[in-house]
């Protein structure tokens, strides 16, 4: 039988409701009741090892630990310890801002550096992955309206040991085709972030899955063909529902209705 798809929630979505360990326990119970299988994220008010225990007690195993380029440069061992404390085998770089990477050579250089960290982490049993926003789809090196290459291409093409963690909401915000990107990352796309967006009062806003304009049936099909097993629901904010728990619940129901699981 094919492996079941894992539908997870990104704990960042409900960050404003997690100021104390007691708050965290309540949030975990609410997310599990919605039907989520797993969780990503770590609230600041709980140490990683304790959060792992709380999440497992709630029936929500964790999927990945956060890191950053500065963290990797300063002390790779801290990222390893954090992942071990969380009980995860993946570390996610959340973003790289364009400054100071302004040329193609800048991006190639930092990509090669990140690739070296990916190799070192792999020896510790940890896969390093990159989570995009929209700015990585800007082209670098355009001259007179011609040529250039997208930042994300420069990063991933020059870091072959780096996994992709495509955030499809940001892929679409960046003017890109999510299906094409899912196919492009075949073999490097075990986990993805899913979020939708639509137009309200002539402005783009984040929406729950199925409430916006992304054609999720096609995206999910392409992801599964590329090896994706974990689909992580995240909303940066919830301007329509004004309730991140409600948005997570709507997303979970709609994902099931779309046939993903």
How would DSSP label each residue in 179-200? HHHHHHTTTS-SEEEE-EEEEE
CA-based nearest residue to 234, from 21, 18, 36, 48 = 36
C-alpha 19, offset from chain centre: 23
What CA–CA distance (Å, rounded) separates 115 from 110?
9
Tell me whether residue 198 is in a domain: yes
Identify whether 185 is part of a domain: yes
Structural domain includes residue 99: yes
Paired with 154 in beta bridges are none
191 within a domain of the structure (yes/no) = yes
Pairing of strands 38-40, 65-67: unpaired
Q: Assess if residue 66 is contained within a domain.
A: yes
Q: What is the CATH number of the domain that holds 88?
A: 3.20.20.150
Work out how many domains the chain is built from and give that number.
1
| Alpha carbon of residue 220 to chain centroid | 15
Torsion sign across C-alpha atoms 204, 208, 213, 218? positive
For residue 259, what is the DSSP state?
T
Within-domain flag for 202: yes
**Domain span including residue 248:** 6-257
pLDDT at 1: 32
Q: Which of 92, 4, 71, 12 is nearest to 44 (CA)?
A: 12
Q: Over the stretch 104-140, which tens digit does the pLDDT of each residue have?
A: 999 999 999 999 999 999 999 999 999 999 999 999 9
Q: Is residue 219 part of a domain?
A: yes
Rounded Cα gap, residues 150 and 157, in angstroms: 11
Q: Is the pLDDT of residue 3 over 90?
A: no
What is the rounded CA–CA span in Å between residue 257 and residue 253?
A: 6
Tell me whether residue 1 is in a domain.
no
Q: What percent of the chain has pLDDT over 70?
A: 99
Residue 130, phi then psi, degrees to nearest 5: -120, 130
Q: Give the predicted TM-score (pTM) of the model.
A: 0.96
Contact (Cβ atoms closer than 8 angstroms) between residue 96 and residue 69: yes
Model confidence pLDDT, tens digit, residues 217-260: 999 999 999 999 999 999 999 999 999 999 999 999 999 999 99
pLDDT digits (tens, 9 = 90+) for 38-60: 999 999 999 999 999 999 999 99
């Amino acid at each position: 039988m094919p492996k079941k798809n894992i539908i997870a929630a990104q704990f960042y979505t409900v960050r404003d409701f997690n100021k104390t360990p007691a708050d965290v326990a309540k949030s975990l119970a609410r997310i599990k009741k919605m039907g989520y299988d797993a969780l990503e994220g770590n609230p600041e008010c709980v140490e990683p090892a304790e959060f792992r225990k709380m999440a497992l007690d709630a029936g929500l195993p964790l999927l990945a630990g956060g890191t950053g380029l500065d963290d990797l440069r300063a002390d790779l061992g801290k990222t390893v310890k954090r992942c071990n404390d969380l009980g995860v085998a993946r570390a996610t770089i959340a973003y790289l801002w364009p400054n100071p990477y302004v040329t193609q050579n800048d991006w190639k250089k930092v990509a090669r550096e990140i690739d070296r960290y990916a190799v070192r982490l792999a020896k510790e049993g940890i896969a390093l992955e990159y989570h995009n926003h929209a700015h990585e789809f800007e082209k670098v090196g355009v001259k007179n309206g011609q040529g250039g290459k997208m930042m994300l291409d420069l990063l991933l093409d020059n870091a072959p040991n780096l996994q992709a963690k495509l955030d499809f909401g940001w892929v679409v915000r960046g003017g890109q085709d999510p299906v094409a990107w899912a196919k492009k990352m075949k073999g490097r796309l075990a986990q993805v972030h899913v979020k939708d967006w639509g137009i309200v009062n002539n402005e783009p806003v984040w929406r729950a899955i199925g409430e916006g304009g992304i054609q999720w049936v096609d995206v999910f099909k392409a992801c599964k063909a590329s090896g994706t097993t974990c689909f992580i629901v995240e909303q940066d904010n919830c301007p329509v529902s004004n309730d991140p728990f409600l948005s997570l619940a709507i997303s979970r129901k709609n994902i099931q209705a779309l046939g993903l699981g």
